[in-house]
Structure 1
């Protein structure tokens, strides 16, 4: 970090730290179509395709309420983040804002926790993608496929931010087209308008004809919330990517305003289709997965292979974005002096090479742990990062409470996106996230996740406070 005064760059507020690097910082290499698809695809994770069947089994048709509750929470969090990101675009997004509003300890802590979350996700998604590829081409061992996938996407991110954006445009595009087609075709089959469908098209009857809408009781809604909440992680990526676009304010505003329909169509719409095509307790939902079972009920040939292809693109998209997101957070931490200075340097193409390589090295190590010690070391990594999504959302809420006043004092003209009913909805969201964290402690399957995540968070916060004390002591001397 340098104390030298520099002129603010385009899209950078006066007083905001400059981007210390050899070639003028991150380049605006993302086009509007890239950001639009990153925003749309960011809310469609692989967890939606492979994890929804467990939620349906736990809550029945009432899982729709679980998805709606979490979706509403994400919409509110994204609105808060959009307010800050539109006013102050930054590659560090909520970590940089927490640094300004809550203190260096907050920006340091949530930045490193978020980085940790995504590098663990790299290992999970690489292994999931490798399993699908090995099923298609069994001659290549699964570990080799995981290595190939990681190397290819690392190379993509190293070339330029534009190449990341292009890959993500097509990966996310396939996800979006596939799930939109699923919703349209499913609705036609549900109401008996799809020619040649094998599904009887019983309308909305399946929502209540097997034990009612709450077959496992109203309390199962909260169990469902715990199962689906983490599949929404990733919607915030567009606010990090916006910093590398030519018009970040417009990109963030557009993404924030469209998050409602994206969640409504892709999550609620697709799960609604599954629950109306089949009874919630149909064995095929658990045996084949909810989407494959739904496609089979319509009579779509090779439904399993079709869904495997879609899941693979979702996995590759998540991998691609995970590596991008982890590296940009590492870059931002390096800029602020909270990570090695080399992380804040970019090459002549405007790519933070050291930050990317550091992130992928940890990802490779985590992949190794996944194959070598899946039930011990890797399970610890998974559980200790499991509740980070909720911590991130909670920090965004507290940060926005403070940042609103800072923005109004310093750059009121940039407050183009505003949180609704401020500060009441912000406090309501804080209460909802806190309730989920407390409820996780009472759930046998979620307790270990939240306890280990809290321990890791406490460790990182402790390190940040010690660093701050040392820095103050050094300054006073």
Structure 2
């Protein structure tokens, strides 16, 4: 009997991983959702991004520690299984998979809505299916083609945001002829820096955490790199600068240049900045950049969900049919499986946007925090294990271990349970908790069934 497991090809290059790590943190949420947060929190929203960014940096450091010691395409689901037991790997693997297949549908719908800006005659549901199908082709062809597409998507996002930071900085410094710098007016007037109090900043942290989801993809991608240790090291050590420059830099420019209580300007804050300097076609330019961010997220979602499904099949947590790898080392069945689920989700959005589809979106809302919690608990366990059995494997180490790990766990747990007391997040908290409990229950039911089946078979063989 051949016990050899199908293997994925290691075709992602360091330049792919580097650009994925750079662009992976720049999602459509930054371009679209930042205005909403500023409107709720005021200039102090920069603190919300700072606190959330700090937690993500710590989580990425923990993930980097485990990934360099043991690169895996299953990433944190594999580490959860090793550290906390098979039930943890099973649970967090399926929850993460569920999150990303819903994201694929959400991003496909968002992309179709943007394209309708230019081609209003195409039905939204049809364009959603077309976008998903086209990016499925890039994933099915080869992992290298996924890397190339993500490289260029990320490059567009990074260059666009870098140019925006330069432009915004020039306006603030009064270097643009004919455009008056607001100075600190928008920071201290209109109710002050924290017009709605410190509580609004803490509320903002819970909202912002979801914007950072996707940072961890680089750990999964490193499993298909020829030099995973180098890839993870680069991504882990540069995450601080990425968050400081792209997120905090952008937010500082937005809150300085735009009054927080202007609903018109904050509806499309990045467009408003471009229009300040009379950039022709500002809305069209920003639509293109947001579409790039959406397609990048859709592309990454197909990649990540399929690799998680493949990894779970290797562990026996998903049907073995998802282990099929084609000649190019691509988990073909896993990709198709994820695509079909996303097609069904798009269909639900067409048939029942306010019930079934809304339920699915809300049910996946708190998964990011559960994933971060599991990463922290896994690192806590595995660090002690590595120090005893293989200390040389710890090429990257979590700072001030174990104290920062404990602080991160407490913070993540607090943010998750705080969702239950926030009107806009309450449904996500309860639905995510319900789905998580159902997944845990399914593991023990399946395990019990398997154990009973094995025992029955053994008894019959003895007889």
Q: Determine if the TM-score, normalized by the shorter chain, exceeds 0.5.
A: yes
Choose the corresponding residue for 1:226, options 193, 202, 206: 206
Q: Is the 8 A contact 1:197 1:299 kept in 2?
A: no
For 2:197, the equivalent position in structure 1 comes to 217
Q: Is the 8 A contact 1:86 1:416 kept in 2?
A: yes
For 1:362, the equivalent position in structure 2 comes to 341
For 2:64, the equivalent position in structure 1 comes to 82
- Once the two structures are superposed, residues 383-416 of structure 1 have per-residue CA deviations (whole angstroms, 9 ceiling, x without a partner) of 1000000000000000001111222333321210
Choose the corresponding residue for 2:97, options 115, 135, 139: 115
Choose the corresponding residue for 2:280, options 301, 317, 324: 301
In the alignment, does 2:32 pair up with 1:59? no
Q: Is the 8 A contact 2:39 2:263 kept in 1?
A: no
Q: Take 1:168 and 1:134, find their aligned partners in 2: how far apart are those partners? A: 23
Q: Is the 8 A contact 1:130 1:146 kept in 2?
A: yes
Unaligned runs of 5+ in 1: 5-17
Aligned ranges 1:128-143 → 2 under 5 Å:
128-143=110-125
Choose the corresponding residue for 1:40, options 22, 37, 56: 22
Aligned ranges 1:197-276 → 2 under 5 Å:
197-198=178-179, 200-276=180-256
Q: Take 2:71 and 2:129, find their aligned partners in 1: how far apart are those partners? A: 34
Residue 341 of structure 1, CA deviation: 0.9
Residue 176 of structure 1, CA deviation: 0.5
Q: Take 1:233 and 1:99, find their aligned partners in 2: how far apart are those partners? A: 21
- Once the two structures are superposed, residues 46-84 of structure 1 have per-residue CA deviations (whole angstroms, 9 ceiling, x without a partner) of 111111111001100010000000000000000000100
Residue 3 of structure 1, CA deviation: 9.6
Q: Take 2:312 and 2:445, find their aligned partners in 1: how far apart are those partners? A: 17
Residue 203 of structure 1, CA deviation: 2.4
For 2:371, the equivalent position in structure 1 comes to 392
Residue 469 of structure 1, CA deviation: 3.2
Secondary structure in 2 aligned to 1:301? coil
Q: Take 2:212 and 2:205, find their aligned partners in 1: how far apart are those partners? A: 11
Residue 445 of structure 1, CA deviation: 1.3
Aligned ranges 1:129-208 → 2 under 5 Å:
129-194=111-176, 196-198=177-179, 200-208=180-188
Q: Take 2:59 and 2:124, find their aligned partners in 1: how far apart are those partners? A: 38
Q: Take 1:213 and 1:272, find their aligned partners in 2: how far apart are those partners? A: 12
Q: Take 1:305 and 1:132, find their aligned partners in 2: how far apart are those partners? A: 10
For 1:371, the equivalent position in structure 2 comes to 350
In the alignment, does 2:436 pair up with 1:457? yes
Q: CA RMSD in A?
A: 1.4
Aligned ranges 1:305-324 → 2 under 5 Å:
305-324=284-303
Residue 302 of structure 1, CA deviation: 1.4
Q: Take 2:66 and 2:408, find their aligned partners in 1: how far apart are those partners? A: 17
For 1:98, the equivalent position in structure 2 comes to 80
Select between 384-393 and 209-218 the one with higher mean Cα deviation.
Answer: 209-218
Residue 466 of structure 1, CA deviation: 2.2
Q: Take 1:411 and 1:300, find their aligned partners in 2: how far apart are those partners? A: 57
Change (3 A) 1:114 1:281: same
TM-score normalised by L of structure 1: 0.93
Q: Take 1:470 and 1:353, find their aligned partners in 2: how far apart are those partners? A: 29
For 2:461, the equivalent position in structure 1 comes to none
Secondary structure in 2 aligned to 1:299? coil
Choose the corresponding residue for 2:418, options 408, 424, 439: 439
Q: Take 1:471 and 1:406, find their aligned partners in 2: how far apart are those partners? A: 30
Secondary structure in 1 aligned to 2:259? coil
- Once the two structures are superposed, residues 246-291 of structure 1 have per-residue CA deviations (whole angstroms, 9 ceiling, x without a partner) of 000110011000000101111110111111111111232333x111
Q: What is the number of equivalent residue pairs in this alignment?
A: 456
Residue 473 of structure 1, CA deviation: 4.5
